[in-house]
Amino acid sequence: MQRRSFLKKAGLGLAAGAAAAPGLVNAQAPAAGLPTVSWRMAGSWPKSLDTLYGSMEEISKRVSTATGGKFTIKVFAAGEIVGGAQVLDAVQNGTVECGHTACYYYFGKDPTFALSCAVPFGLNTRQMNAWLYHGGGKELFREFFKDYNIIPFNAGNTGTQMGGWFRKEIKTVADLKGLKFRVSNMAGMALTKLGVVPQQISGGDIYPALEKGTIDAAEWVGPYDDEKLGFYKVAKYYYYPGWWEGGPNLDLLVNIKAWDALPKEYQAILEAAAAESSISMTAKYDAGNPAALKRLVANGVKLRPFSNEIMAACYKAANEVYAEISAKNAKFKKIYDAMVKFRTDQVQWFSIAENRYDNFMIAAERQSQKTSKKS
């Protein structure tokens, strides 16, 4: 949907930057005569994660407010209607009108789904948004999801995630051999080439598995959420970055039949609310992660970067996986090739202004802290 067309259809005074900042969907209720609509949204998240589950609540609240309560969406946490990994199925078959999820959960159906969320050494958050809004990514995904009776809307992004919690230190590629690691599917395929034994474990089962030694390591999101789940109590080594999730996009999946039945005004409001929630989620993680990380370190967590040796080996393994999947899956290849082409220019651009600025500010801040401690 082109931006001008989108704004024209909204017809509700939505500001020209509806996806740019919180609060822009507080428009007046539409004219009398529009129908009362009640939807249900199934999520992949427990209520305890106020960023992920909270994003669902934000969408629901915005939609209700902008329509004067005429369009309501009741949200359900993972397990209340369907399990967290069954959200796509529930939307596809019409059990619910919409769902909030991370589409790499559906890798088993088709690896192409993972590209809509995050893949190893993919796009960072801003690059993903650029690709979706202005690089053709949104159109490619809508074409793909149409076969599943679904229209997707980006509705969240955590920012680059952490590399996870390890019971022992990982210094070299050799240290990965035999490691039982709870990790996402695509990353698991790459790590298998390096001797890792990937484990598929739901979020609620990670802590006991780490505590008992059933697994040696696990990744989740980042400091803000990881602290809530208490992983630091049973695994002290906290690695970064999560190279398999450089900018994981979360989707609001909408049943096409339900979408087509909505008035155009409601469609515009829902799309704007989803986009707004994406900005809000990233901002909330960026605001909450620093303090959470400080608390974790104060509790004895040992922060460690993956070595360049490990990163390079994982990058090579990931590219081998992409070549293998692309040779068998034309849909995956079409979208992956488009993503890589876009990523090439993005990495070059980010290496100029952003990288130089960030690196200087990191060095300046560290020097300032050293000077303050001496004085």
Q: Is the pLDDT of residue 15 over 50?
A: no
Instruction: Give the residue extent of every domain in the chain.
Output: 3-157+246-286
Which tens digit of pLDDT belongs to each residue from 247-306? 999 999 999 999 999 999 999 999 999 999 999 999 999 999 999 999 999 999 999 999
Closest residue by Cα to residue 284 from 54, 31, 42: 54
pLDDT of residue 111: 97
**pLDDT, tens only, 204-243:** 789 999 999 999 999 999 999 999 999 999 999 999 999 9
Note the pTM of the prediction, 2 decimals: 0.89
Sheet holding 302-305, edge to edge: 197-199, 180-182, 217-218, 164-166, 237-240, 302-305
- Of 7, 47, 37, residue with least CA distance to 263: 37
Mean pLDDT of the chain: 92
Residue 18 in this model has a pLDDT that exceeds 80: no
Is pLDDT at 4 greater than 70 in this prediction? no
Q: Look at 31-45, 63-77, 124-138, 276-290 and tell me which has the smallest mean pLDDT.
A: 31-45
Question: For the structural domain made of 3-157+246-286, what CATH number should be given?
Answer: 3.40.190.170
* Range in 11-25, 59-73, 86-100, 168-182 with the lowest mean pLDDT: 11-25
Q: For residue 44, with 0-12 CB atoms within 10 Å meaning exposed, 13-18 middle and 19 or more buried, which class applies?
A: buried
At residue 93, does pLDDT exceed 80?
yes
Interhelix angle 330-350/353-374, rounded to 10 degrees, is 60
